[in-house]
Amino acid sequence: MRPHAEEKGPVHAEPPENQPEVSSPNVTLVEEVPSPRDGGGVPVHPGADADPGAELNVVGRRMRKTDGLEKSTGRARYTDDIVLPGMLHGKILRSPHPHARILSIDVSDALALPGVFGVVTGDEMPIPYGIIPWTPDEQALCTDRVRYVGDAVAAVAAADEDTANRALERIRVEYEPLPAILDPEFALTDEAARTPVHEPKKPGWNGNVSKIVKLEFGEVEPGFAASDVVVEGEYFFEGTTHTPIEPHCAIGQWEEGGTARGRLTVWSSTQVPHYLHRELAKVLELDPARVRVIQPHVGGGFGGKSEPFDLEFCVARLAMKTGRPVKILYTREEVFLAHRGRHPFQMKYRVGATADGKLKAVDAKTLLDGGAYSSFGLVTTYYSGQLLAAPYEIPAYRFNSTRVFTNKPACGPKRGHGSVQPRFAFEVSLDKLAERLGMDPIELRRRNFMGSYRRTVNEMRVTSNGFLQCLDSVERASGWKEKFRKMGFGRGVGVAGSCYISGTNYPIYPNRMPQSAVQLQVDRSGRVAVFSGASDIGQGSTSLVAYIVCEELGVPLDYVRVLPSDTDFTPVDLGSYSSRVTFMLGNACVDAARRLKAQVQEAVGEEWGIPARRVLLAGGQAMDAADTGRNLPIREAFNLAEAKHGTLGSVGWYNTPKDVHGEYRGGTIGASPAYSFTAHVAEVEVDPESGFVEVKTIWVAHDCGRAINPTIVEGQMEGSAYMGFAEALMEEHVFKDADHGRAGLHNAPSLLEYRIPTSVDTPELHSLIVESIDPEGPYGAKEAGEGPLHPSIPAIANAIYDAVGVRMDSLPFSPPRVWRALQAQAADTEARVAAD
């Protein structure tokens, strides 16, 4: 069945965003795996040893992280820990207006201040950029217009921070304020279109429209007509932000003369060194070969550091101007203003099902509040619909998503990018459906399970799928059957499920090159060095490659050194976003290690006069599989291989299969080589007097394919569930309106006022790992970093309903909101009693 796909209205005039669609020479189509469900099939490219019965020595064990002790002793160096000789401190001047034209900027007084070495304004680096190549609508520093309170206007470099701050006060900017557009619905009006946040791409279009996606699959209206029950609802997901504990930081250094001939180095707390490298070269008009990006340890990202920011361009430009290294460290307030967090979503959902609980049709309409710039918004808009199509069988599905610009900090990708919000609306809808049908909500979800090795209604290829085991796990562990609808007023349990991508099939900019690569180099001592451009932001990618090297080459963990991302020395990995790292970097590392392993096996086999395949590398030794008494220390095995093959080194890479997406415009967005699946049960206690919701426990079952290190996987599951819980109950990234202070001003740009959970607030979190062994993942592994966030929020909403019988369709479930819902329920009951 061909989907009916259309896009209308004032969208960006854009080239096809996912060219080229050419399959990689590194991936060969090997087999069609029939679906156990309907005998259909999907193409599968068996990868790195996804054998469930494989004997593994390292993978699957609870190993320590390679950088764990470095972090717990304070030795780990983050960007702000680096001090260069003669380094200056930079500060950025930010707009006090939500929307204004810049008429003039006078920096002469600032430059005259003793201790000030340089000032930079936007006209020195006016080239627009954007993380998505089709929507370059940002400038390093604004040249003619500011679009939110906090937009960057100028930057100074001074001998110390105090002088830099004083210099900012001496920069005179003349603004002509423009009407501020703060409300996403208002942004769509003709009135707002008269002073749009961005100029429209075509005359007559509304410049406030960032992206519209309308897609329809299957027979939607007939599906509703054939439904016995249709649940309709309106939902609101409030914006939230990442708040990594490390504020963004960057250092720029410029070398002139000698062989350098103008060479830029930028140290940054980025999650995407490769994209930063490209954008720096573009905006600063430098040869990319003369730009180097080094990523020190990163103190958390969660999506908040996955595109270039003003500070990286400013330290670079200021270093070039002053000839001295320049550092900029964001204040916590600036971290809130940089944002790129969760979009506020207004959602309308219709979900239809037959009396036996089978889904027939889903219709979603969504308005995304994008803030001032595009950021990843093109992708967010697609994700808001595309990622809902699993793990349930949805025969007919339509979504209509519109992203608008408003005069607030830009929204972007936060853990679970674009799909956490629709998942909330949909999983609460399923709970309402189960209630209407008098069915257990876990049973309802089981009945709609799509199965494995299937295509979704929007043509996404799903391979391994452990969702049923996830449901079973949380049902058993939580004692669901003894608790659901049985705990009495004030206490309850709720369930929800979800799926998420293990990386995106297409890179952000079109190219046919690998998504991830690894180089290995072996020393005569037995030490193996790993060069990888991957970004360890705490999730453990550095350890991941070390474990894989240990598994394949048999060296002990302390023989492995991993060089962190440095664009001068490490091969490209596209970055830590979209849960791509374990899958793609892992496969690249297996590829590199296997090439090296083959050389070692061949050399040792020759020495012993046995076939190469009989040579095992494990436990620091090379062994004869048929006679383990015959062995060599691994160092000697490496030496034999070096004598036979020359200096030992290898390169490995991974590129995605290109035959797993939908054949329609946008069908590549949401396509992933594998999907992870999650189910949560949350148990809550609600105080009807105050509306306070206490989440007692969340049981998290997650299908990560295979847990390469269960401790690290659990850490991702717990961190995800925590972050979802935080969004459900506490977090609100909101701005003042004209009636409450200054319009567009951030309401709470501090960690005291923007409340994130402490150890006391956080519920008990129980991780239940499910392993479905994906055919294409490294040893069968899939993602674990983002998927397990999704169900927290609807599971808590559904638990609140079980506890006190009120539906929480708007986030967050803060005491005033829950209390008001309870009051409304009481008034309603009273009215009904009176009417009777």
Partner 1 sequence: MKELVTLRVNGDAHEAAVPSHFTLLETLRYVLGLTGSKQGCDKGDCGACTVWLDGVPTLSCIAPVWEAAGRDVVTVEGLAGLRTPPGVPHPLQDAFDACGAAQCGFCTPGMLMSGVALLEENPAPSRAEIKEALSGNLCRCTGYTKILDAVELAAARLRGEAVPEEMEEARR
- Applying CB under 8 A, among 100, 153, 178, 329 the residue interacting with partner 1 is 329
- 137-142: long-range pairs with CB below 8 Å, 24+: 137/198, 137/373, 137/374, 138/373, 138/374, 138/410, 140/283, 140/310, 140/313, 140/314, 140/317, 141/92, 141/310, 141/313, 141/314, 142/95, 142/102
Q: For the chain, how long is the longest CA-to-CA vector?
A: 94
- Applying CB under 8 A, among 29, 112, 127, 751 the residue interacting with partner 1 is 751
x-marked contacts with partner 1 along 721-740 as a string, rule CB under 8 A: xxx-----------------
Distance of CA 767 to the CA centre of its chain: 20
> Which of these segments, 116-124, 242-250, 387-395, 484-492, binds partner 1 (CB under 8 A)?
242-250
Is 324 a binder of partner 1 (CB under 8 A)?
A: no
Give the count of residues interacting with partner 1 (CB under 8 A): 60
> Strands, DSSP E only, in 130-262?
145-146, 152-158, 172-177, 209-217, 229-237, 249-255
Residue among 233 and 619 whose Cβ is closer to partner 1: 619
Q: Are 791 and 680 in contact (CB under 8 A)?
A: yes
Among positions 156-215, residues that touch partner 1 (CB under 8 A) are: 160, 162
In angstroms, give the least distance from the CB of 294 to partner 1.
Answer: 17
Q: Where are the alpha helices (DSSP H) in 617-740?
A: 634-645, 710-729
x-marked contacts with partner 1 along 262-281 as a string, rule CB under 8 A: --------------------
Among positions 369-428, residues that touch partner 1 (CB under 8 A) are: none
In angstroms, give the least distance from the CB of 73 to partner 1.
Answer: 6
Is 699 a binder of partner 1 (CB under 8 A)?
A: no
Residue 180 to residue 149: CA distance in whole angstroms: 10
* Integer-rounded Cα radius of gyration of the chain: 27
Q: Are 717 and 703 in contact (CB under 8 A)?
A: no
Q: Is 34 helix (H, G, I), strand (E, B) or coil?
A: strand
Q: What is the dihedral of CA 182, 134, 269, 517, to 10 degrees?
A: 150
Q: What is the dihedral of CA 637, 640, 645, 647, to 10 degrees?
A: 80
Exposure string for 753-774, b = 16+ CB within 10 A, e = fewer? ebbbbeeeebbebbbbbbbbbb
- Applying CB under 8 A, among 413, 538, 744, 791 the residue interacting with partner 1 is 538
Q: Is 216 helix (H, G, I), strand (E, B) or coil?
A: strand
Residue 659 to residue 43: CA distance in whole angstroms: 7
- Applying CB under 8 A, among 53, 758, 816, 835 the residue interacting with partner 1 is 758
Mention every residue, 6+ apart, whose C-beta is less than 8 A from residue 476.
none
Residue among 14 and 694 whose Cβ is closer to partner 1: 694
Per-residue DSSP letter, 343: P
In angstroms, give the least distance from the CB of 724 to partner 1.
Answer: 10
> Which of these segments, 381-389, 472-480, 648-656, 756-764, binds partner 1 (CB under 8 A)?
756-764
Is 75 a binder of partner 1 (CB under 8 A)?
A: yes
> Which of these segments, 474-482, 526-534, 758-766, 827-835, binds partner 1 (CB under 8 A)?
758-766
x-marked contacts with partner 1 along 540-579 as a string, rule CB under 8 A: x---------------------------------------
Residue among 508 and 544 whose Cβ is closer to partner 1: 544
Q: What length does the chain have?
A: 836
> Which of these segments, 119-127, 194-202, 612-620, 706-714, binds partner 1 (CB under 8 A)?
706-714
Residue among 13 and 83 whose Cβ is closer to partner 1: 83
Closest by CA position to 572, among listed 671, 654, 672, 674: 654
Residue among 122 and 247 whose Cβ is closer to partner 1: 247
Q: Is the peptide bond before 391 cis (omega within 30 degrees of 0)?
A: yes
In angstroms, give the least distance from the CB of 394 to partner 1.
Answer: 31
> Which of these segments, 325-333, 428-436, 562-570, 606-614, binds partner 1 (CB under 8 A)?
325-333
Mention every residue, 6+ apart, whose C-beta is less than 8 A from residue 107.
119, 121, 154, 171
User: How many Cα atoms within 13 Å fall on the side-chain side of residue 295?
Assistant: 34
Q: Are 171 and 106 in contact (CB under 8 A)?
A: yes
- Applying CB under 8 A, among 246, 279, 774, 786 the residue interacting with partner 1 is 246
In angstroms, give the least distance from the CB of 70 to partner 1.
Answer: 8
In angstroms, give the least distance from the CB of 275 to partner 1.
Answer: 20
Is 64 a binder of partner 1 (CB under 8 A)?
A: yes
Is 114 a binder of partner 1 (CB under 8 A)?
A: no
- Applying CB under 8 A, among 427, 573, 714, 731 the residue interacting with partner 1 is 714
Is 775 a binder of partner 1 (CB under 8 A)?
A: no
- Applying CB under 8 A, among 242, 263, 342, 746 the residue interacting with partner 1 is 242
Closest by CA position to 278, among listed 511, 447, 121, 32: 511
> Which of these segments, 490-498, 583-591, 643-651, 752-760, binds partner 1 (CB under 8 A)?
752-760
**How many helices (H) does the chain have, and how many strands (E)?**
20, 31
- Applying CB under 8 A, among 629, 739, 759, 836 the residue interacting with partner 1 is 759
Is 712 a binder of partner 1 (CB under 8 A)?
A: yes
Residue among 497 and 724 whose Cβ is closer to partner 1: 724
Q: Are 690 and 819 in contact (CB under 8 A)?
A: yes
Measured distance between the N- and C-terminal CA atoms of the chain, rounded to whole angstroms: 52
H or E, element range at 521: strand 516-522
Is 694 a binder of partner 1 (CB under 8 A)?
A: no
Residue among 305 and 597 whose Cβ is closer to partner 1: 305
- Applying CB under 8 A, among 353, 390, 537, 743 the residue interacting with partner 1 is 537
- Applying CB under 8 A, among 44, 562, 765, 799 the residue interacting with partner 1 is 765
> Which of these segments, 124-132, 296-304, 306-314, 347-355, binds partner 1 (CB under 8 A)?
296-304
Q: What is the dihedral of CA 410, 366, 388, 784, to 10 degrees?
A: 20
Is 62 a binder of partner 1 (CB under 8 A)?
A: yes
Is 104 a binder of partner 1 (CB under 8 A)?
A: no
- Applying CB under 8 A, among 9, 68, 222, 490 the residue interacting with partner 1 is 68
Amino acid at 334: E
Is 303 a binder of partner 1 (CB under 8 A)?
A: no
- Applying CB under 8 A, among 298, 326, 379, 641 the residue interacting with partner 1 is 298
- Applying CB under 8 A, among 133, 300, 510, 688 the residue interacting with partner 1 is 300
In angstroms, give the least distance from the CB of 65 to partner 1.
Answer: 7
Residue 449 tokens, joined? 């399970």
User: What order of strands is seen across the sheet that includes strand 88-94?
Assistant: 116-121, 152-158, 88-94, 326-329, 249-255, 263-268, 291-294
- Applying CB under 8 A, among 566, 718, 771, 786 the residue interacting with partner 1 is 718
- Applying CB under 8 A, among 22, 55, 73, 833 the residue interacting with partner 1 is 73
> Strands, DSSP E only, in 340-424?
345-353, 359-369, 397-404
Sign of CA dihedral 461, 463, 467, 470: negative
Is 69 a binder of partner 1 (CB under 8 A)?
A: yes
Is 80 a binder of partner 1 (CB under 8 A)?
A: yes
Residue matched to tokens 């003039």: 104
Mention every residue, 6+ apart, whose C-beta is less than 8 A from residue 406.
181, 182, 183, 184, 187, 197, 208, 369, 370, 371, 372
Is 78 a binder of partner 1 (CB under 8 A)?
A: yes
H or E, element range at 242: none
Residue among 65 and 147 whose Cβ is closer to partner 1: 65
> Which residues contact partner 1 (rule: CB under 8 A)?
62, 64-65, 67-78, 80-81, 83, 160, 162, 242-247, 297-302, 329, 331-332, 537-540, 711-712, 714-715, 718-723, 750-752, 756, 758-760, 762, 764-765, 767
